[in-house]
Structure 1
């Protein structure tokens, strides 16, 4: 069973439908016992870092998520769900992330090193590079396209956890893996066949 953590995030239903399409049993829940009974746990998210972490704390989910990680249950953060795993975000100064992984979330620059301008947020398809092998990308070729919607991106303290990047005014750290923790800045549930393969790979962890 896949427990999708319900903290009033925007893209929960689309994530649920994607796993349903793959034949996985899913449950939307914020109940500690139900989450810890699951075989896989997903933290989706669309919106503000500060608002999201306040909701997580309001529902008492911070300790639940940390317990999932400690008990080695495969865990996946999607989009804002990736950002929340880290310490802090420029989007919401003073808001304390989950701190499960070390790093900060920073604004995507609107110009690259050559002075070329970019629209922020990044909305649309972008291709991935794989700096190291990642379990989420088994059977997926480098250069595969996935769908992004974001204005902020990860600056991980430990670059060895980064399994996918893309280029958009700068190098975006698009996916990470550390033990039983997996996350991606893009939306696999909106990334057609490539995205479905990523979610299937997660289910096979």
Structure 2
């Protein structure tokens, strides 16, 4: 059973529909006591990093997520949910993240509509390139995924980099260490590749 973390800033409908199509049992909850019963967690996210961390901290979900991953059960962060796994972000001013993975979240230096600079947000299909082997990419060929984001992760730790993409800057697209995983793009909107990635995650549970 997968628990989807509801902290007020997740695209719950999109994720739940994807899990329904995979015929994977799941539930959505904001209660740590209920989420603790899940065999694996998905942390979705849409919006600003700083706002999300305020909600996670005030609700006690941040502390809960730290305790949950210590059990060895898998956790998957999607889009903003992936960024929240890292140490800090400059979005909306400096803010600490969950600190489960090493790195910081920074804004693409391009500016929307400015001549000579690329558009931000990064929106559209970009090809993934596998970097390090992982159970989450098992039997998966490199393909395209659908991105919508203005901020991306910078990390010096190559070991956590499972897959990367490029949008003028190198973009960590799939990350992971032990039982913690993240995807910068929307797997539920990324055609066969996204479906297979979600399937592989459920197989870890």
- Name the TM-score, length of structure 2 as normaliser: 0.94
Query: Partners in 2 of 1:157 and 1:30 — Cα distance?
Result: 33
- Report if aligned partners of 1:109, 1:170 keep a CA contact under 8 Å in 2: no
Which residue of the partner structure matches residue 72 of structure 1?
72
- CA deviations over 1:87-142 (Å, ceiling 9, x no partner): 1111132321111111100111228xxx9632110111100001111222112112
What is the RMSD computed on CA atoms of the aligned residues?
1.4
Change (3 A) 1:35 1:126: same
Number of equivalenced pairs: 201
Q: Does structure 1 residue 194 correspond to structure 2 residue 200?
A: no
Which residue of the partner structure matches residue 122 of structure 2?
122
The alpha carbon displacement at 1:192 in A equals 1.4
Name stretches of at least 5 consecutive residues in structure 2 with no aligned partner: none
Query: Partners in 2 of 1:182 and 1:88 — Cα distance?
Result: 17
- Name the TM-score, length of structure 1 as normaliser: 0.94
Which residue of the partner structure matches residue 93 of structure 2?
93
The alpha carbon displacement at 1:145 in A equals 0.5
Runs of 4 or more above 3 Å deviation: none
SS of the aligned residue for 2:94 comes to coil
Query: Partners in 1 of 2:187 and 2:45 — Cα distance?
Result: 12
Q: Does structure 1 residue 6 correspond to structure 2 residue 6?
A: yes
Which residue of the partner structure matches residue 109 of structure 1?
109
Q: Does structure 1 residue 165 correspond to structure 2 residue 185?
A: no
Name stretches of at least 5 consecutive residues in structure 1 with no aligned partner: none
Query: Partners in 1 of 2:105 and 2:82 — Cα distance?
Result: 10
